[in-house]
Chains A and B, each alone.
Chain A
């Protein structure tokens, strides 16, 4: 059974640029959630996708957007990057909503 994977591991971008982060869910899982974790803080919920539809969104601006594909993998897109977007971005998958979530290793994004 393959766990949750994320790519890339690290990324450095310049303010104003756009970035796409990718996540492959654990085998058999149909739900993907994205979280942002700033240094020294707990993860903050960005949004969740269930069967290719957005199923809830946290307090993040519209420049944070996502997709889920038929194989349940997912992308997180961030436009017009700001310095405060520098964080660890975590993806989690689960079988249905409200069930145990399994996290990937994260993508460390640095915006300069």
Chain B
């Protein structure tokens, strides 16, 4: 059974700082891994999708990496801004499965 863990549960940083959010998964036989952003009480916005054959994906100030052998993914946010404040969730899809297995998320606060 796949389990996804995100550490830390919460993070507070000053504006402009570069930061890394961590995601670990127990079963390395994943099909892909997806990072999402969720604002309070809202739905999920897809940020990046990494296929199992890829090592990283980049979109603007965001960079996500995937290391299947160690069961880890990281989301790097460069030059953080107050508008980046949200909960960030990672989710893994197993090969042959149809469902996303989510971590509990990291709540990020970027202080002006």
Real binding pair: yes
- Segment at the B interface, from A36-44, A66-74, A75-83: A36-44
Smallest Cβ-Cβ distance to A39: which chain B residue:
B41
Flag whether A58 is at the interface (Cβ < 8 A). Answer: yes
| B102 near A43: Cβ-Cβ < 8 Å | yes
What is the predominant secondary structure among interface residues of chain B facing chain A?
strand
| A104 near B97: Cβ-Cβ < 8 Å | no
Flag whether A65 is at the interface (Cβ < 8 A). Answer: no
| B98 near A103: Cβ-Cβ < 8 Å | no
Contact with B along A69-112 (1 / 0, CB 8 A): 00000000000000000001010100001101111111010000
Given A105-B42, A105-B43, A108-B41, A42 contacting B103 (CB threshold 8 A): yes
What residues of B have a CB within 8 angstroms of the CB of A105 in the complex?
42-43
Flag whether A20 is at the interface (Cβ < 8 A). Answer: no
Total A-B residue contacts, Cβ distance less than 8 Å: 64
| B43 near A104: Cβ-Cβ < 8 Å | yes
| B43 near A101: Cβ-Cβ < 8 Å | no
| A90 near B43: Cβ-Cβ < 8 Å | yes
Given A41-B104, A42-B103, A88-B41, A103 contacting B97 (CB threshold 8 A): no
| A98 near B97: Cβ-Cβ < 8 Å | yes
Given A42-B105, A45-B100, A103-B45, A98 contacting B4 (CB threshold 8 A): no
Flag whether B75 is at the interface (Cβ < 8 A). Answer: no
Q: What's the minimum C-beta distance from B103 to chain A, rounded to whole angstroms?
A: 5
What residues of B have a CB within 8 angstroms of the CB of A41 in the complex?
104
Cα distance A96–B98 in the bound complex, in angstroms? 9
Smallest Cβ-Cβ distance to B4: which chain A residue:
A42
What residues of A have a CB within 8 angstroms of the CB of B76 in the complex?
none
Top-8 shortest CB links A-B: A42-B102, A45-B99, A103-B44, A56-B98, A105-B43, A97-B98, A103-B43, A106-B43
Query: Which residues of chain B have a CB within 8 Å of any CB of chain A?
Result: 4, 31-32, 34, 36, 41-46, 49, 89, 91, 93, 97-105
- A to B CB contacts below 8 Å, 9 in the list: A6-B43, A35-B102, A41-B104, A43-B44, A55-B98, A56-B99, A92-B100, A103-B36, A105-B43
